[in-house]
């Protein structure tokens, strides 16, 4: 019997609440709209935060920071005349002999290095050792240069020790070897000659430059394995060795006593070089993106606080005019908890409806929203209802006799 009575009372509360919703439909629409805006805003904020996080992650993973080898003062980067071992250290061909635990090659991508040597034959011609074709700034400054590769070759051959060459498209004087391949004979300034297999031709480039692999071997000792190079540059990606900050990664470069940070006050020393890390634009971009992300992260607690306050004041201001009505209900024997449930249902039903509509609208604009977005939306709605509950509890917890006495 008691269970049936409780069910009957519950149905009565819902019936009265629905009737009050219709009678106070403008207030109900107001509460619905506030809840809708709050939940929708939480989803929009979640979407913006996730996009900013993705953008920051992509920027860290894909942005390449250009580094240039210079003299110790940072004034010269094209005619360094420094040992080729520096390029070997950065490309991984040689470890950091000064501190083997501080290997530089994992930090580095796209190493570019160039060394130019004059030849006696062909006359007025230079042999250029390169790791990649863009190692030579002369090619980078030419629009429309093209590389025509021989069968079985591509640019990767420049990182090997093969005795091959890339000659200008119009250059003559090739020889056909026993293997049917073209060979080109060159004569060094020392008077010794050797044959290089033609791996391709350079179109629209310099007519007096022959390109060979940077670490090309010299079986007949025409070219020494140790030589001086003109320039070197490479790229650093912040996502490489992710547990270290960019400043820590830069310190690894300068752990080599022959590598310094360029400064106009530095005194030139034998074989010492500077590394100019051009990271200013990257650091500025990353700082701006991280600031935006912090702002978006701060906005969620602020939105929660605002929704709690709005829930309280919206319920308080739209319900305080019914205090006399509540006093009459209490004087007629309605329990305080039932009165609270009745009034709170009037606030909760439109709030839930607005939350559902706001969540559905947010999903339409943010299809990839997951469980975290749902949790944030629920938190916003619960805080709004908590504010409403506090206001309703304050208004329904009245001293009935005192209120009636004042009304008289």
Question: What are 337-393's pLDDT values in tens digits?
Answer: 888 888 888 888 888 889 999 888 887 777 666 788 888 889 999 999 999 999 988
Using the predicted structure, report yes or no on whether residue 94 has a pLDDT greater than 60.
no
Gyration radius (Cα) of the chain, Å: 38
CA angle 335, 339, 341 (to 5 degrees): 115
Using the predicted structure, report yes or no on whether residue 53 has a pLDDT greater than 70.
yes
- What pLDDT shows up at residue 99? 45
| Rounded CA separation 224/82 (Å) | 14
Give the strand pairing for 273-278 and 259-260: parallel
SS3 call for 63: coil
Higher pLDDT, 156 or 239: 156
pLDDT tens-digit series, residues 140-158: 656 667 889 999 999 999 9
- What pLDDT shows up at residue 100? 43
| Rounded CA separation 256/270 (Å) | 14
pTM of the full structure: 0.71
Q: Per mean pLDDT, which of 215-224, 361-370, 389-398 is the most reliable? A: 389-398
Q: Which two tokens stand for residue 252?
A: 């690894």
| Arithmetic mean of pLDDT, 158-180 | 88
Half-sphere exposure of 329 (CA within 13 A, CB side): 20
| Rounded CA separation 355/378 (Å) | 8
Range with the poorest average pLDDT among 103-112, 153-162, 216-225, 361-370: 216-225
CA angle 320, 326, 329 (to 5 degrees): 170
How many other CB atoms are found less than 10 A from the CB of residue 287? 10
| Arithmetic mean of pLDDT, 59-88 | 88
Q: Which two tokens stand for residue 397?
A: 């917890």
How many other CB atoms are found less than 10 A from the CB of residue 319? 23
The number of residues making up the chain comes to: 408
Using the predicted structure, report yes or no on whether residue 14 has a pLDDT greater than 80.
no
Mean pLDDT, rounded, of the chain: 81
Q: Per mean pLDDT, which of 246-260, 267-281, 284-298 is the most reliable? A: 284-298
Residue 39 burial by Cβ neighbours in a 10 Å radius (0-12, 13-18, 19+): buried
| Contact residues for 270 (Cβ-Cβ < 8 A; gap 6+) | none
Task: Give me the sign of the Cα torsion angle 240, 243, 247, 251.
Answer: negative
| Contact residues for 370 (Cβ-Cβ < 8 A; gap 6+) | none
Of 107, 108, 105, 96, residue with least CA distance to 256: 96
Half-sphere exposure of 363 (CA within 13 A, CB side): 11
pLDDT tens-digit series, residues 274-285: 888 888 888 899
| Contact residues for 298 (Cβ-Cβ < 8 A; gap 6+) | none
Using the predicted structure, report yes or no on whether residue 3 has a pLDDT greater than 50.
no
- What pLDDT shows up at residue 229? 92
| Rounded CA separation 29/314 (Å) | 12
Terminal C-alpha separation, the chain: 40
Using the predicted structure, report yes or no on whether residue 46 has a pLDDT greater than 80.
yes
| Rounded CA separation 131/109 (Å) | 12
| Rounded CA separation 71/74 (Å) | 5
- What pLDDT shows up at residue 387? 92
Range with the poorest average pLDDT among 51-60, 101-110, 174-183: 101-110
Using the predicted structure, report yes or no on whether residue 24 has a pLDDT greater than 70.
no
């Amino acid at each position: 019997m008691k269970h049936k009575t409780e069910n009957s009372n519950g149905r009565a509360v819902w019936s009265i609440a629905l009737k009050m919703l219709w009678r106070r439909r403008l207030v109900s629409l107001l509460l619905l709209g506030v809840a809708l805006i709050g939940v929708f805003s939480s989803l929009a904020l979640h979407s913006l935060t996730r996009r900013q996080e993705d953008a920051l992650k992509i920027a860290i993973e894909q942005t390449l920071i250009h580094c240039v080898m210079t003299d110790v003062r940072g004034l010269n980067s094209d005619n360094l005349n420094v040992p080729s071992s520096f390029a070997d250290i950065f490309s991984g061909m040689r470890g950091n002999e000064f501190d083997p635990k501080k290997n530089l090659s994992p930090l580095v991508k796209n190493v570019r290095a160039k060394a130019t040597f004059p030849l006696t034959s062909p006359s007025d011609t230079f042999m250029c050792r390169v790791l990649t074709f863009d190692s030579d700034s002369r090619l980078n400054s030419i629009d429309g240069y093209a590389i025509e590769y021989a069968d079985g070759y591509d640019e990767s051959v420049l990182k090997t020790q093969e005795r091959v060459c890339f000659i200008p498209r119009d250059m003559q004087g090739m020889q056909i070897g026993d293997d049917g391949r073209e060979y080109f004979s060159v004569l060094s300034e020392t008077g010794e000659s050797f044959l290089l297999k033609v791996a391709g031709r350079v179109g629209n480039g310099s007519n007096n430059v022959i390109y060979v692999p940077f670490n090309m071997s010299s079986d007949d000792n025409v070219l020494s394995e140790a030589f001086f190079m003109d320039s070197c540059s490479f790229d650093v990606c912040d996502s490489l060795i992710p547990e270290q900050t960019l400043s820590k990664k830069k310190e690894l470069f300068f752990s080599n006593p022959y590598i310094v940070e360029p400064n106009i006050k530095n005194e030139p020393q034998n074989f010492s070089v500077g590394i100019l890390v051009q990271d200013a634009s990257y650091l500025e971009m990353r700082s701006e993106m991280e600031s935006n992300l912090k702002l978006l992260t701060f906005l969620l607690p602020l939105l929660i606080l605002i929704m709690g306050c709005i829930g309280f004041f919206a319920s308080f201001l739209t319900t305080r005019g019914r205090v006399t009505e509540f006093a009459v209900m209490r004087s007629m024997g309605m329990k305080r908890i039932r009165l609270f449930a009745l009034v709170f249902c009037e606030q909760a039903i439109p709030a839930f409806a607005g939350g559902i509509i706001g969540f559905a609208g947010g999903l339409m604009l943010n299809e990839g929203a997951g469980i975290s977005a749902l949790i944030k939306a629920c938190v916003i709605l619960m805080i709004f209802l908590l504010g409403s509950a506090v206001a309703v509890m304050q208004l329904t917890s009245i001293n009935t006799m005192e209120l009636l006495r004042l009304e008289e």
